[in-house]
Amino acid sequence: MLDLLSDILTNLSVRGTLYFRTSFTTPWGVAVPSYENVARFHFAHRGACLVKVDGQEKPISLAQGDLIIIPHGASHDLSCGHTPEHNVMPLDAVLTESGYDGSGVLVFGGDEPESETQLICGHFTFDPNARHILLERLPPYIHITNYGEHAGRWMEASLQMIGEEAGGRKIGGDLIALRMSEVILAQAIRYFVESHEAKEFALGAFTDKKLSRAMDAFHKAPAARWTVETLANTAGMSRAAFAAQFQKQMHMSPMEYVTTWRMEIAKKTLQQASTSLTDAAESAGYASNSAFTRAFKKETGQTPAEFRKGLAAVRS
């Protein structure tokens, strides 16, 4: 599962950015704005808080050792739980009032030091031109209680180290915390996909032993001449059984998945200035430029030339 997940996240150009470690004391409340192409995380290093995600009816209680991932960049409020709603301040206002300059610890709140909540907060950015159903189908939030225990002792130790390094004064501390934080997203997604809840979001194929075997083989050689039959053979299933089970678990056909991922690979190739249309077609497993162009436009709504023109306009 992790190799398959690694390939997907690498193609999405996931980059972790640790943006602060906090020391909040009651009363406090922070409103975090929404962002596109961003997933956010908050780890309760010490103490607890409430997290109210936009669009969700009830707040999530984040206890010490818990992790929450907000994969679609939705706005959300963090609070001590005793703060009236009108006292929750916008993040920019909190940064200004606290005098936080991006280094050290963000200290904010009232005069009750015994109620301190230390959060490790960060975000992951994705290539705005990249997409994958795994990320798109994740729920509004993933809450993992006692995260270190679920992820393993090494991750628990890593999170403790992130807490010590983030915003610290040691040489290389921010870089260490940043690199370690990138692992958090992969671990959290794997945790969710391996849960029973994943099937409700049409992601069951990722942990189905036979289906995931075929998906892993495809991701390792996406330009190969894949058909439903060859995928089924790799899974050790009949063609009909494989197609039916894949449709049931993913709410799409095997070849729809194949085509969607191939177009993502083609996009990445097209973003390189030195590559040609033929290079992009071959990277996606197409021997004909015309067939590739038709498939690309059907999938993205643009021709490869239009896609490149759009990229150039953004860069200029």
- Establish if 201 belongs to a structural domain: no
* pLDDT tens readout for residues 206-224: 989 999 999 999 999 999 9
Q: Distance between CA 192 and CA 185 in Å, rounded?
A: 11
Is the Cβ–Cβ distance between 119 and 49 less than 8 Å? yes
pLDDT, tens only, 135-162:
999 999 999 988 766 555 655 666 666 6
Same-domain status, 178 and 54: yes
Tens digits of per-residue pLDDT, 100-127?
887 778 999 988 878 899 998 888 888 8
Q: What is the pLDDT of residue 110?
A: 86
The predicted model gives 152-180 an average pLDDT of: 61
Domain membership flag for residue 169: yes
Least confident interval from 8-22, 120-134, 284-298: 8-22
Report the C-alpha gap between 27 and 243 in whole angstroms: 55
Q: According to the model, what pLDDT value does residue 164 have?
A: 63
Is 203 within the bounds of a domain?
A: no
**Number of domains into which the chain is organized:** 2
Q: Which residues of 275-298 are buried (b: 16+ CB within 10 A; e: fewer)?
A: bebeebbbbbbbeeeeebbebbee
Residue 175: is its pLDDT beyond 90?
no
pTM (two decimals): 0.85
CATH classification at residue 128:
2.60.120.10
* Angle of helix 254-270 versus helix 239-250 axis, rounded to 10: 70
Same domain, 73 and 114: yes
Structure confidence at residue 126 (pLDDT):
87
Whether the pLDDT of residue 167 is over 60: the answer is: no
Find all residues with CB under 8 Å of 110, minimum gap 6, and list them: 25, 26, 27, 28
Split at pLDDT 50, 70, 90, the class of 29 is very high
Confidence of residue 182 (pLDDT cuts 50, 70, 90): confident
Residue-wise DSSP of 38-55: EEEEEEEEES-EEEEETT
What pLDDT, on the 0 to 100 scale, is given for residue 146? 83
**DSSP strand pairing (29-32 vs 142-144):** unpaired
User: Could you tell me which of 288, 298, 289, 232 has the C-alpha nearest to residue 260?
Assistant: 298
Q: Could you tell me the two tokens for 138?
A: 């994740």
Least confident of 50-64, 141-155, 300-314: 141-155
Residue 51 belongs to some domain of the structure = yes
The confidence score (pLDDT) of residue 105 equals 86
- Range of 30's domain? 2-196
Say what the pLDDT of residue 170 is: 60
Lowest mean pLDDT among 157-171, 223-237, 282-296: 157-171
Helices (H) and strands (E) in the chain, counts: 13, 11
Angle at 46 between CA 32 and CA 38, to 5 degrees: 30
Question: What length does the chain have?
Answer: 316
Q: Which of the two residues, 151 and 204, has the higher pLDDT score?
A: 204
* Closest to 58 (Cα-Cα) out of 50, 46, 66, 68: 50
In the predicted model, what is the mean pLDDT of residues 50-60?
A: 95
Q: How far apart are CA 281 and CA 289, in angstroms?
A: 6
Section 76-102 average pLDDT: 85
Residues 212 and 190 in one domain: no
Round the average pLDDT of the chain to a whole number and report it: 87
177 to each of 90, 159, 162, 182, how far by Cα in Å? 25, 9, 5, 9
DSSP state of 139: -
Q: Tell me what pLDDT residue 111 has.
A: 83
Burial label, 218 (beta-carbon count in 10 A; 0-12, 13-18, 19+): buried
Query: Is residue 189 domain-shared with residue 220, that is, in the same domain?
Result: no
**Share above pLDDT 70 across residues of the chain, in percent, rounded to a whole number:** 85
Q: Residue 284: what residue type?
A: A
Whether residue 29 is contained in a domain is answered as yes
For residues 19 and 94, the answer to whether their CB atoms sit within 8 Å is: no
Asked if residue 73 has pLDDT above 70, the reply is yes
Question: Given a cut of 90, is residue 47 above it in pLDDT?
Answer: yes
180 occurs within a structural domain: yes
For residues 35 and 32, what is the distance between their CA atoms, to the nearest angstrom?
9
* CB 193 within 8 Å of CB 1: yes
- At residue 160, the pLDDT reads 62
In a domain, 17, yes or no: yes
Beta bridge partners of 230: none
Q: State the Cα–Cα distance between residues 2 and 187, nearest whole angstrom.
A: 9
How would residue 10 be classed by pLDDT, with cut points 50, 70 and 90? confident
**Quick one: average pLDDT of 71-99?**
87
Domain-located, residue 239: yes
